Amino acid sequence: MHQKLSNMLLSWMITFGWLIYGSITVEPALGANKNPNCDRKLFHGTMYDSREAVVCGTRLHVGAGLSCCGDQPFNPATATCCKTEHEANVTQDLSEKVSTCCGLTAFNALNEICCDSTVAVKNATTAECCGKAAYDKDKQLCCRPDSDPVILEKTSPHHRCCRHKLYDFTTQCCHWKNDTHVEVKPKPPKGCDGNSGATAVKTTHGTCGQKTYNTHTEMCCGSLVIPKMSAKERCCGEGAYNYATECCCWPDHGPPERKPKTSPCCAVTSVVPHLTPEPPPSCSEPNTHVCGSSCYNPNERRCCERKETKPHWCCASGQCDAAPTVYNPHTHVCCDGCISELKPGMDQCCGDTPYGSAQRGLLCCHNVLYKDREDGEECSDAGIPYNPAKGTMCYSQFHASPGQHCCGAEVYRPLEEICCGGHRYPKRENLQCCGVKAYNITDPNMKCCKGTLYDLTHLGNHGHDAKCCGSVLQNPQKQEVCCSSKDEAVLYPKKTGFGCCGHLYFNSFLWSCCAGVLRPGHKQQSGMNECRLLSVNNLKDTELCREIYIGTVESVSLNSILFRNVLKLDGRNGTVQPVPFHHILMTPNRCTTTKLIVGKFYFFHDVNVFADFNHDTVIQSLHFFFSKCSL
């Protein structure tokens, strides 16, 4: 029967293993009380886990980590979704972690620039737009940027545009004959004529966000270009105000407003310099308002900028409600901003309700007071009262058999099953979790990349060379580069002249990299300094399962790394030996060494340091190492 399943159905069943085996449940997220219903979704009568599939438009798409771009599925780890008001478009091979949108096309702002909705290759780190093209301000000139832009090579700092010609304003004059013709002539001793010279053609454009604007006639406020009405104007939010007659007022909520100088708020704000160094944020998320220099949602918290507090017997909620209220503690009790009459025995607050801990039948779970509860009831992790002697509570689901273990919202039998991210699987030898799936850790055809499981069978012989790049599987047949830092790992299509600097992929013509930091400017010496943080997950068994160290970074100096709590591991015979004192790893080329986090643990050997992106704790890492190597 199993032999007859089509490949598609088989992969469906593998993906939805829990559908066959158990019900949909979710991993108790570390620390947090995550509601298992968050990831559980229903699509036309089929349950799916939103970590393993997505519904875009009217279709269900199976795959880990997918999101929707309009009605298209895409993986933000390898692609970017750019949206306009009416359209959405996916750009493949560029992760959202490192991309910017230019209209409907995504680009890498490190090496490219968006000019007039067109992606242009940067010629310099400080490149600016000239029409749809990029130019290097230091070496080139953009002539007639507003009407008919042309980029010309600057031959000296004295060169200026004369329509689409260049002239040296110290020795030459630019004559405008008519709308289409100009002439460059030697400068006579008395200087250039009125209709010629630099003033008519001086570059008067600046950049405002991704737009260019005329600095003489327009202003850039917020990221908006607005017409300049007078020389006495300054920005106020995304508008302008006349500083001779008005001031820019910052209300408690919302964006700043222009007000006549006579208005009361001008007296207050005049203490604050008008040229506020930090513009107020534009709170673009729906339902958000400005609070000082940040945005907030009034439904979630309050803006406490102007809160006045009184020292005694004030009843104010932790959220800093309107005005705190004064009360008498002999007759009343204050619970989370609410004043209630004091009754005998009241000694506790449950949210905003007072109660007495000696009262029978009361149970306070997650700030909600439950009445008429039986003796012996407790709060479950999800904050629901239940009696442990009568059953097991898995999240908010009650199972009428006491003393069970939970896997998501279900009970499970650890002797017969393994629980991966809230999904149960029958126990087998060498079975380990990878995200919400279970796999045979000795199976060379399976690879776990940061919680996403990949079947390498379709790669054939190349499967053994497949590596992880964060949660993405790098296809060894494709020309791809994985750039990784302590925070991210990003896959890029390979390009000549480009290198990794942490998780960024830079054009070495524009940038140089040292110890994970990019600096403008081409490195002159031969060779390009690249640096990336290697992953222990990408070591072949033969490299991994030999003598290797694990330790905590204590300090990093110019040319060495100091490790403490070092253990020497040997995967061949499964031995662990503590290394007395410190271990110093020399790093002769500081520039090729990535940033390590002091206090975090890493694997290392004589030359390289490896991070374990798959596991968060040392015990998980060690368990992986010995499981993998002892086989």
Ligand X SMILES: *[C@@H]1O[C@H](CO)[C@@H](O)[C@H](O)[C@H]1NC(C)=O
Q: Which residues bind ligand X (CB under 6 A)?
A: 89, 91, 104-106, 121, 123, 136, 139, 177-181, 428-430, 440, 442-443, 570, 572-573, 575
Q: Are 356 and 364 in contact (CB under 8 A)?
A: no
Closer residue to ligand X in complex, CB, 106/363: 106
| List of residues 6+ apart from 85 with CB closer than 8 A | none
Closer residue to ligand X in complex, CB, 235/433: 433
Q: How far is the CB of 178 from ligand X (least distance, A)?
A: 4
d(CA 369, CA 131): 65
**405 DSSP assignment:** E
Q: Which of 613, 327, 378 is nearest to 486 (CA)?
A: 613
Q: How far is the CB of 274 from ligand X (least distance, A)?
A: 40
CB burial readout 290-314, b (16+ within 10 A) else e: bbeeeebeeeeeebeeeeeeeeeee
Q: How far is the CB of 123 from ligand X (least distance, A)?
A: 4
Closer residue to ligand X in complex, CB, 134/384: 134
Q: How far is the CB of 122 from ligand X (least distance, A)?
A: 9
Closer residue to ligand X in complex, CB, 72/592: 72
Closer residue to ligand X in complex, CB, 162/333: 162
Q: How far is the CB of 442 from ligand X (least distance, A)?
A: 4
Closer residue to ligand X in complex, CB, 108/392: 108
Residue that has been written with the tokens 């008008």 in this structure = 274
Closer residue to ligand X in complex, CB, 130/334: 130
Q: Which of 143, 124, 144 is nearest to 134 (CA)?
A: 124
Closer residue to ligand X in complex, CB, 160/163: 163
199 φψ region: left (φ > 0), alpha (ψ -120 to 50), beta (else): alpha
Q: How far is the CB of 67 from ligand X (least distance, A)?
A: 16
- For residue 409, what are its two tokens? 């919202």
Q: Are 578 and 567 in contact (CB under 8 A)?
A: yes
d(CA 459, CA 474): 11
Closer residue to ligand X in complex, CB, 93/374: 93
Q: Are 417 and 18 in contact (CB under 8 A)?
A: no
Q: How far is the CB of 416 from ligand X (least distance, A)?
A: 14
- For residue 342, what are its two tokens? 């004091």
Closer residue to ligand X in complex, CB, 7/573: 573
Q: How far is the CB of 511 from ligand X (least distance, A)?
A: 14
Q: How far is the CB of 606 from ligand X (least distance, A)?
A: 15
Q: How far is the CB of 181 from ligand X (least distance, A)?
A: 4
CB burial readout 598-610, b (16+ within 10 A) else e: eeebbbbeeebbb
Closer residue to ligand X in complex, CB, 376/414: 414
Q: How far is the CB of 176 from ligand X (least distance, A)?
A: 10
SS3 letters across 316-379: CCCCCCCCCEECCCCCEEEECCEEEECCCCCCEEECCEEECCCCCCCEEECCEEECCCCCCCEE
Q: Which of 272, 252, 270 is nearest to 261 (CA)?
A: 270
d(CA 482, CA 78): 11
